[in-house]
Structure 1
Amino acid sequence: MPRHHETRVLPYSDEQMFALVTDIERYPEFLPWVIALRIRSDSEHEAVADMIVGFKGLRESFSCRVHKDRPRTVTVSYIDGPMRHLRNEWQFAPVEGGGCRVDFMVDFAFRSRMFEALAGQMFDKALRKMIAAFETRADDLYAAGRAMSSDGRSSSLSG
């Protein structure tokens, strides 16, 4: 049963990171292995989505509920699909001097022993690739909008 927790400090605001993580409709544009996504419902506090993920000829679909507590927390809970359980949490906290601390946790288990074995072998690599995809997406969306100094040079929010 893979479980992982990671903390990063990024030069973007908690509101920016919250917006990126809750823009689930865009996941197929930047997240590896996300082939398709359908939003069933979406409101300020909750979304329900169906996602198809694929890797090396294997495809699975699952449904999840995304709980949103702007701008601090996003919690993903599993509805149905090939897993026994899935829980994913994002927490965003402003840091002194600008930017925010991002705490990310994922915990899941597949029903299929084959998928569980594959997940165990590839979990760390896949997770690193997924986290890097979120960071790259944040850079693509927000790096140009960082504060500009009076002489026109970019000024990082992280100091």
Structure 2
Amino acid sequence: MPTHAENRDLPYSPRQLYDLVADVERYPEFLPWCRAARIIQRKDNEFTAQVVIGYKMVRESFVSRDVLSPPGGGVDGDGPNGDGSGRIDVTYEEGPFRYLNNHWIFEPKEVDGKPGCRIDFFIDFEFRSHLLQKVIGALFNEAALKMIDSFEKRAAELYGDALR
């Protein structure tokens, strides 16, 4: 039952980081171990995605449901919480897991005296296979950090080194 929670303050807007995380089909371009990703169905503020992950000889596919609450998308135009924040909630639909819960929260936050964003990242999952659970469990924290680092690096590639 690996769990990882992390906050990071980054020099990008909540909208920029939200857009980056919501663009699941681009994950294979920059996320380690992501071999393929596609949107199966879109409806209003959510979509269903199929993601293929692989590491060495292990290759697994899973389907998730992603619920989107964009920054500035609330009734008052300030995001789901009325404070300019955004959120993406990911739940497991089918594949090798017993369960998977993941969320990203994007909150406006001053970074080095300039507007920026605090990311609140959380993931909790369990594989059905005890073997996969042992293999992934041993590498999980390192993999989670590498994944978040990959999103941060991708933001720098797309948006430059600081908020525009």
Shift of 1:12: 0.2
Supply the AA of the counterpart residue of 2:122: M
Q: Which runs of 5+ in 1 are unaligned?
A: 148-159
> What's the counterpart of residue 42 of structure 1?
42
Distance 2:21 2:163 in 1: 19
Letter in 2 for 1:31: L
Where do 5+ consecutive residues of structure 2 fail to align?
Answer: 72-85
Q: Does 1:61 align with 2:41?
A: no
Q: 1:87 corresponds to which residue?
A: 101
Distance 1:78 1:109 in 2: 11
User: Displaced runs of 4+ in structure 1, greater than 4 A?
Assistant: none
> For 1:1-28, what per-residue CA distance to the aligned partner results, in whole angstroms no more than 9, with x for missing partners?
0001100000000010110000011001
The two structures, once aligned, show a CA RMSD in angstroms of 1.3
SS of residue matched to 1:98: strand
Q: Secondary structure at the match of 1:121?
A: helix
Q: Please list the CA deviations of residues 134-156 of structure 1 after superposition, one character each: whole Å capped at 9, or x if unmatched.
A: 00001101116744xxxxxxxxx
Instruction: Give the structure 1 partner of residue 31 of structure 2.
Output: 31
Whole-Å Cα distance in 2 between the matches of residues 64 and 124 of structure 1?
21
1:52 corresponds in structure 2 to 52
CA contact (8 A) 2:11 2:161 kept: no
Given the alignment of the two structures, is residue 104 of structure 1 paired with residue 118 of structure 2, yes or no?
no
Task: For residues 68-114 of structure 1, give each alpha carbon's deviation from its aligned partner in whole angstroms, at most 9, with x where no partner exists.
Answer: 00121000000010000001100011013300110000000000000
Equivalenced residues, count: 147
Identity %: 46
8 Å Cα contact 2:25-2:37 kept in structure 1? yes
Q: 2:90 aligns with which of 60, 76, 84?
A: 76
What is the distance in 1 between the residues matched to 2:125 and 2:33? Answer: 17
Q: What SS does the aligned partner of 1:117 have?
A: helix
Letter in 2 for 1:23: D
Is 1:142 matched up with 2:159? Answer: yes
Separation (CA, whole Å) in 2 of partners of 1:67 and 1:16: 17
The normalised TM-score by structure 1 is: 0.88
CA contact 2:116–2:163 (8 Å) conserved in 1: no
Alpha-carbon separation, structure 2, partners of 1:7 and 1:44: 28
Amino acid at match of 2:24: I
Max radius of gyration: which structure? 1
TM-score when scaled to structure 2?
0.86
Shift of 1:63: 0.2
Assess, with a 3 A threshold, how the Cα gap between structure 1 residues 127 and 144 changes in structure 2: closer, same or farther.
closer
